[in-house]
Amino acid sequence: MQTVFNNAEQIVAAVKDEDLQRIGTKILNKERISFDDGVVLFQKGSLSYLGALANYVREYKHGNKTYFNRNFHIEPTNVCVFSCKFCSYSRLYAHRDEGWELSIDQMMHIVKSYDSKPVTEVHIVGGVHPKLNLPFFIELLKTIKAHRPELHIKGFTPVELDYMFRKAKVSTEEGMRLAHEAGLDSLPGGGAEIFHPEIRTQICDDKVDAEGWLNIHKTAHQLGMHSNATMLYGHIEEYWHRIDHMDRLRQLQDETGGFNTFIPLKFRNKNNDMSHVPESTVIEDMKMYAVARLYLDNFPHIKAYWPMLGRKNAQLTLSFGVNDIDGTIDDSTKIYSMAGSEEQTPSMSTAQLVTLIKQVKRQPVERDTVYNEIRDYSDIDVAEIEVNPLLN
Ligand code: V47
Ligand code: SF4
């Protein structure tokens, strides 16, 4: 008869493979695992083994708490000077008539449409438009802050920032200082893709490289800002490229402690130059989240971004190391719908997010961008959330 393992100690004690037993023991003893250990986890770890260990780590760090936030996105433009092969969203400047470019007034119109809503964060990210420069974005940041000072602005990837700073002929330090002073509170995790040049040169050759990406985050951390990190996985990379990517992040985090969250982003293959590459299976996806939780021992949070993964799979990740499922979004991002995600109009009310989390016996907690807890929804009835405009 097959044994049903319900805890990490049992599964590590019973695993036959010597490497997995050694690595599992390290994790149970809260010791850091090595680069090679990380690769072995991907190669040999079964879904149940990885899930049990990742859940063990998740529960000793966060118990059942599962964070979400109330946010909306602004995508200033999808016109982009770069041509990442996986991108389904951008249009080259020559084809800008097929894309969009928002003016500051148009973006403020979006911000103002949330005036009566209890959102805490605006996430601003888009293509790299050759005509939208640092002064334009500084003005945007200042105008948002003048209108709603307490709204946290998480904006711009190093891809956008690097281009803006080079065009404005300012150093990274100077550019980040100007953006921060104008109102930029933190950096999202985008633009990281896969750091290793062997893969990066094949999928996004012309944009900022790994060192540039890491240096911009490091500079932000030195200014006291927090940031996130992503990894675009499940395409042409091998397992060791994923570990290499996470290893570079783990090293920077040891140095600065400025990262909040790691977000594995599943490659979606519709309408891009990599459409011939098959998407990863849900089993690979869950293993990815679990290994991220085990490798990134110095990252407090692992996030599943539901607009990309779909809400049911995001719910499943809560048993594979994830403790955050991002936000309400309000149908304000196009990146994933254009790449073929099943979430074509991503939007969830607070009641829906809370239900999703409660259905799998976790504890829903609303957070702000930097993980200050705003409200614990454990004892709040979903029916009450639906009728209370402050809660929903
Ligand atoms: O860097 C683009 C990814 C990223 C595809 O920090 C794709 O809280 C899958 O970084 N398939 C931008 N992914 C989005 C991003 C993000 C999203 C949510 C939250 C946060 C955060 C950050 O989107 C890009 C790229 O890696 N992406 N195309 C695609 N076809
Ligand atoms: Fe441009 Fe970003 Fe798309 Fe790359 S992923 S082409 S940088 S919008």
If asked whether residues 203 and 98 sit together in one domain, one would say: yes
- Please tell me the residue having the least CA distance from ligand 2 atom 2: 127
If asked whether residues 328 and 378 sit together in one domain, one would say: yes
Q: Domain range holding 52?
A: 2-62
ipTM greater than 0.95: yes
Using CA atoms, how far apart are residues 9 and 57, in angstroms rounded to an integer?
A: 12
Q: How confident is the model at residue 331 (pLDDT cuts 50, 70, 90)?
A: low
CA of 274 to the centre of ligand 2 (A): 14
- Please tell me the residue having the least CA distance from ligand 2 atom 5: 87
- Please tell me the residue having the least CA distance from ligand 1 atom 9: 267
* pLDDT recorded at residue 335: 65
CA of 273 to the centre of ligand 2 (A): 12
pLDDT in tens, 124-151: 999 999 999 999 999 999 999 999 999 9
CA of 350 to the centre of ligand 1 (A): 22
Strand partners, 266: 233
Q: Which residues contact 107 (CB under 8 A, 6 or more apart)?
A: 74, 76, 140, 144
Give burial (CB, 10 Å; 0-12/13-18/19+) of 102.
middle
Q: How confident is the model at residue 6 (pLDDT cuts 50, 70, 90)?
A: low
Least confident of 1-5, 6-10, 182-186, 297-301: 1-5
Higher pLDDT, 1 or 277: 277
Number of folded domains that form the chain: 2
Looking at the domain assignment, is residue 392 inside a domain? Answer: no
Q: What are phi and psi of 185, to 5 degrees?
A: -90, -40
If asked whether residues 36 and 130 sit together in one domain, one would say: no
User: How confident is the prediction for the chain on average, in pLDDT?
Assistant: 93
Give the end of a domain, one of 46, 62, 78.
62
Looking at the domain assignment, is residue 236 inside a domain? Answer: yes
Which tokens in the block code for residue 262?
């790691």
Q: Give CA separation, 89 vs 216, 236, 334, in Å.
A: 24, 20, 7
pTM over 0.90: yes
- CATH number of residue 372's parent domain: 3.20.20.70
Higher pLDDT, 326 or 29: 29
Q: How confident is the model at residue 384 (pLDDT cuts 50, 70, 90)?
A: confident
If asked whether residues 95 and 74 sit together in one domain, one would say: yes
Binding site annotation covers 204?
no
Binding site annotation covers 80?
yes
Which tokens in the block code for residue 166?
């080079």
